Amino acid sequence: MEKVKIGIIICDRYKTCAGGKCLRSLKNREGAFDVYKGKEVELVGYTTCGGCPGGNIEYVPEEMKKNGVDVIHLATGMVVGYPPCPYVGYFKKFIEEKYGIKVVVGTHPIPQKYYTTHMALGTWNSDEWKELMAPTLTGEKTRLEYD
């Protein structure tokens, strides 16, 4: 079975998050983790961005790379927060360019309560946000399970 080593970087405003939704979705291969169905996954790093404007983004990927990371996931909290992280697109490009590590925006499925509010606000109407949120956009049934 193919093994994929992943790292997760969460938004610092959620630094006390226990990671329950991320770990549950990883186990169940839901949200952005559905691409790992049929694969063994090892979590080799879990940390925050370090706070705006993301000081840890400069250093954390290097540490994860030393641990054999194949893919870094920028947590769903960066997409669903109020407001969403204004740097998430830059973080993705920076990590991929500087470290040569694939980056996926998202971990667990977007919870329905966040989906409803952001759709009403028009937060994700741009092409950039549609692309960034795509890995975590699931059907309503799954979104409700993550409320």
Strand (E) positions, the chain? 3-10, 40-48, 71-74, 102-105
3-class SS at 108? coil
- Going residue by residue through the chain (147 aa), what tens digit of pLDDT does each one get? 789 999 999 999 999 999 999 999 999 999 999 999 999 999 999 999 999 999 999 999 999 999 999 999 999 999 999 999 999 999 999 999 999 999 999 999 999 999 999 999 999 999 999 999 999 999 999 999 999
pLDDT at 54: 95
Class of domain 3-145: alpha beta
- Reported as type and span, the H/E element at residue 14 is none
pLDDT at residue 2 in the model = 80
Domain boundaries, the chain: 3-145
Output the pTM of the full model: 0.96
